[in-house]
Structures are given as C-alpha cells and as structure tokens.
A and B are shown apart, each in its own frame.
Chain A
Amino acid sequence: MTVQEKSWKEIPPAGICWKPSTEYLTGDWKTYKPIMDSEKCTRCTLCVIFCPDGAIHWNPGKEDIEFDYDFCKGCGICANECPTKAIEMKLE
C-alpha cells in the first residue's frame, strides 16, 4: 500500500500530529493470539487493566470482555495474569 504523503503546504504547522494512533493497527505484530474461554472467565477485567496496548475492552452493556485484535501484539500478559487461566495463546 502506498500512502500519498502530504506537501508542506497541506500539513498543520509545528509538526502537530494529525492522525490518532488508533488508525495505526499494530495487530499484525503478533505471532500468538489470545483466545478466551468464556466459561472460565469471571469478568474480573484484570486483563483489560494490564494490557499494555489497550487491546482488551470491557463492554459494560454486554458485561463481557472483548479482544481488539487490531491492536493486540500478542504479548501474552493477559494469559499470564488471568487468575482462572481462561486465556490461551494460540499460534495465529
């Protein structure tokens, strides 16, 4: 994919950033993917709290954990920290 880069006349001054990093997907860094066993999960949300990438969300409506694989780098912290061992890292 080639990105059309902007000219100096088009970008804001002072090197102000003009894209949120949420448009930069880091999900393709991973080799292993966390897979959650809904049965074992107690919804403690520790994985949401510890994830360095903010790639696990707590959905209050559904009262459930959601993985955002667009950003998950596959570090495995969630699986390591899960008190009930509900998360397993699987080769992508």
Chain B
Amino acid sequence: MESVAKQKLLALNGDEAVAYAAKQSDVDVAAAYPVTPQTIIVERFSEYVANGEVDTEFVCVESEHSAMTACITASATGARTFTATAAPGLALMHEMLYVASGCRAPVVMTVVNRALSAPINIHCDHSDSMSERDSGWIQIYAENSQEAYDSMIQAFRIAENPEILLPVMVCLDGFTLSHALENVHVLSDDIAKKFVGTRQFPRVTAHEGKDASFRLDPENPISIGPIAFPNYYFEIKRQQEEAMKNAPKIIQQVHEEYAQISGRHYGNGLLDAYCLEDAEIAIICLGSTAGTVKTVVNELRAEGVKAGLLRIRSFRPLPVEGIVKALEKVRAVAVMDRSLSFGGHGGPVFHEVHHALYDTPVHPYIVNYIYGLGGRDTSPSHIRKIYEDLQGILQTQRVEDPVRYVRLRG
C-alpha cells in the first residue's frame, strides 16, 4: 500500500501503547487515578506531562469518580478528554458513566480489564466492562497491544463525531496485554495528530434562542444536566440510542480511513472473522483470547477441520446483522464469556449472540463457555477441547449442557 505511512516499531506493553496513543492524540485534559493493571498508563502519561511531551492538563484526581466527573465537565467545556481505569475504579465510576453518555460527553477511556471483588483479584476477566455494557458507552475490545494503540487513536474520532457524540471505552485484557511486551507499530506524531484532528462542536439552539456551539461558552450560555421528568426523560434516552445506531457506520469509516494510513485492518472494524467463510464450527470471543484461538484454528485447519473464529471488536454497538451474517453457514458455535451474569443462564456475550439469532433462520447449535475468571489461564489445549466439543455436538446433534465452565475444578 502506497499511502501507508512510515512507522516506528517500538517494544511496548499494552499500557504503554495506550499511553503512547494518548500522547499523540492532542488530549486537552486527562484525569485519572491509578489502579492495577492500568497504573502504567497513568505513570507513563505523567512522565509525558513532566517532560513537556504533551500539551495536556493532567488532573491527578483523588478518585475514579472524580476522574470521570472531571472528564465529563472538561469535555463539556470543549476539551478532548481521556482517562483510564480497571475494575474497582470502573465500578466506582458507574454512576458517572451514565452521566457521561447522557450529557453526550465524548470522553475516551481505556479499561484494562480486571476481575471485580470479592475476593479481590487483580487479574483479567471482563466482569468490569461487561457490567457497564448498558451505560451508553461504545465498547471496543482489542486483541493485542497493537490494536489497543490503533483503537485509541480511532476512538477520539468516533466519540467526537457529531453524529455520535458518545463516550468510548477501549478495553484491553489486564496483564495478558497490559503488561506483556509486544512490538507495536506507531504512527509519527504528525500523522497521528492529523488523523485525530481538532474537536468539532455541533450547533444547538438553547434557551436563549441563539444558534450556539455545544459547549460551555459564556458567549452562548447553555445548561447541561438538568432534571427531566417523565414527560421528556424518555425522549432524551431515545436520542442516545439513535447515536448508537449511527455508530457502526462511523466506526467502520474511521477504521477504514485509519487502515489507509496504517495498513492495519481489524475485520471491518466491528467484527473480525478468521477462517470463517467455510467454517462448520466456530468460536466467538472478545479480546486477547482470539490470539490463542487463532493458533488452534491454524492447527485444526492443518488437520482438515473446518474451524473458524469470530471476534467481536465492537460489543457496543453490537453488530447484530454482521453476527447473523457471519454465522450463516456455521453449524455449531461456542460463545466464550470471560464474565458471569449470575443467575442469567450464561454470560453476557452468549445472551447477546443467542438473542441476535433468534428471529433469523440462522440457528446453529450454540453453547456457552465461561472461562478465565480472575485471570485463570486458558491455553490452546483448552480451546482445542472446545472445538472438539463442537464436533461432538455435530455428531450427537444435541447440546446437553448449554453453559459450561473452562478449567474449573469440579
């Protein structure tokens, strides 16, 4: 590709890759609080600030609740804002996540996925971000540090797009990605900055009847965050849903435009399929697990097994039609969930995939695997076992126990 820009190759762990992307994105205000396994992001970013490498006001807040709050109001004031957190911090932010999307503040946040207490556990699973799937945030899950870097740069463009104006969460697996060194291609500062651009503000007509830009500006006062009664609350929420509906198109556009300068594609930006066209059996998963699954798919393909993978990159908005289409020819599907929805018959990804297929003629056998809670490792042999299970299902033509646990002692 001719237009692909020259890029440096740096050895970065996932957290460093994220901090590097934030550094290049002309962030105006960052507000964050340290929590394992996100700490490296805050530390690196603080170094950039200390060394004058960024033109960012870094607010080293006293809690994640305040981190999210400060990002919301800074964003409302017109700043490009960034924060990062992990499980306990994300849970503490919970109230403010809804406020961010409700105020249409295009905050970008990295979530370094970690298990929720109790017992306290610093290792990876997805229970933190899955608990926030209905908070009105766009959620992008990265497979590796390279994608975490790329997704961060894309995230600002997506969030700030006037058709969207929603906050974006870029999720990466704690430790597996956040702390593992990887060779990461990075754009030059200029090209990254140009890609991200400066923030544009939609026009709104507020209480003074003037056409004002959507930010807190004394020249054109607007009031954000009022109390809405049953006569209007619903309408305001419906607008948010419309923004989510606009998101897939923009996510794909931004992803495509980014591919032009970086040479890197992640499926169509929403879903990333691997060996799926002719697959009979497939796994659906999010995040770094996809890397392990690909290794196994390669082995199985070499053995003549028609195995495939569908990685969901954008979990919010959920590309429902894309999922249905991708599974059209698949006969048995294993959905992997790295979190539990207690009492809910399987994990959240399973719920959603299952639900996406219900009203369609696409009805493969479908089974749920809960795995990796609290950082339990899932190796290729466990993935291979899942594909073998799917083969077994095709033979018996039956799903005995639809919700299963990987590597759990019985």
Chain A residues near B (Cβ < 8 Å): 5-8, 11-20
Contact = CB atoms under 8 A, between A and B. Distances in A.
Given A17-B206, A18-B206, A11 B236 contact: yes
A16 B206 contact: yes
A14 B232 CA distance: 12
Given A8-B235, A19-B207, A14 B102 contact: yes
Interface residues of B, number: 25
Given A18-B205, A18-B207, A20-B207, A13 B104 contact: yes
Contacts of A11: 232, 235-236, 239
Interface string B195-226: 00000001011111000001000000011111
Contacts of A16: 204, 206, 214, 222-224
Contact of A17 (B223, B234, B238, B239): B223
B78 to A, nearest CB: 14
B120 interface: no
Does more than half of chain A's interface fall in helix, strand or loop, or is it mixed? loop
B208 A14 contact: no
Interface of B: 102-104, 165, 202, 204-208, 214, 222-226, 228, 231-232, 234-236, 238-239, 242
Contacts of A15: 102-103, 224-226, 228, 232, 236
A74 to B, nearest CB: 25
Nearest to B222: A16
A8 B238 contact: yes
Contacts of B223: 16-17
Nearest to B223: A17
B231 to A, nearest CB: 6
20 contacts: A5-B231, A5-B232, A8-B234, A8-B236, A8-B238, A8-B239, A11-B235, A11-B239, A13-B202, A13-B239, A14-B102, A14-B165, A14-B214, A14-B224, A15-B103, A15-B236, A16-B214, A16-B222, A17-B206, A18-B207
Nearest to A6: B235
Contacts of B202: 13
Nearest to B206: A16
Contacts of A6: 235
A72 to B, nearest CB: 22
Contacts of A13: 104, 165, 202, 204, 214, 239
Contacts of A19: 207
Contacts of B103: 14-15
Nearest to A3: B231
Q: Which of A6, A7, A12, A19 has the most CB of B within 10 A?
A: A12
A77 B103 CA distance: 37
A6 B224 CA distance: 18
Contacts of B204: 12-13, 16
A5 B228 CA distance: 13
A2 to B, nearest CB: 12
Nearest to B103: A14
A8 B234 CA distance: 8
A5 B193 CA distance: 43
Contacts of B239: 8, 11, 13
A17 B231 contact: no
Given A8-B236, A17-B226, A20-B208, 9 more contacts: A5-B232, A7-B235, A8-B238, A11-B232, A14-B224, A14-B236, A15-B103, A17-B206, A17-B207
Nearest to B237: A8
A1 B208 CA distance: 24
A8 B242 contact: yes
A74 B231 CA distance: 29
A20 B222 CA distance: 10
Nearest to A12: B204
